[in-house]
Amino acid sequence: MKNDAISSELLESLNKASRKIRTAFNQGVTAHGLTYPRARTLLRLAKKQNVTQTELACELELEQATIVRLLDRMEENGLIERRADPNDRRVKLIALTEHGKEQAELVKSIGLQLRMHLFSDIDTQELQSAIDLLEKVSARLGDWSGDSVTK
């Protein structure tokens, strides 16, 4: 493949940038007493409340045991509450408390500051081209099985 070297370099650059963005975001939230997983959960719940633990675990791509421990800590810290599902008493719905909503706004602000720092001098068209490329790559990953690789 003629693009092998450049496509390899692109994936390496993407991976490197992703790690650096996560590290920078993590530094921002830990400065305010949060962890990266808690910040992600707060953002997710700020978009959609009253979800089940299973739905949340799926959306955050976390194992069930991991999400239970995470939510236990968040509940202890007054960030979330578990409510009974009116349609199924066995199911608990996860919702932000007022404190959780405040912390979610803080996390959103940290994310906005980071995006402004990263993209303030990058043209909108360049950003859209990058989005288009990443969406194309993501779509192709959806139908790749990995079993077609030959030795």
**Tens digit of each residue's pLDDT (9 = 90 or more) over 131-141:** 999 999 999 98
Per-residue model confidence as pLDDT tens digits over 92-118: 899 999 999 999 999 999 999 999 999
Alpha helices in the chain (DSSP H): 4-30, 36-47, 53-60, 64-76, 98-119, 124-142
Return the structure tokens found at 101: 């909503």
Model confidence at 146, pLDDT cuts 50, 70, 90, reads confident
pLDDT band at 23 (very low <50, low <70, confident <90, very high): very high
pTM, entire model: 0.83
Report whether pLDDT(151) > 80.
no
Q: Report yes or no: 78 and 99 within 8 Å, Cβ to Cβ.
A: yes
* For residues 63-87, average pLDDT: 94
Geometric angle at alpha carbon 49, from 30 and 46, rounded to 5°? 40
The 3-state secondary structure of 49-92 reads CCEEHHHHHHHHCCCHHHHHHHHHHHHHCCCEEEEEECCEEEEE
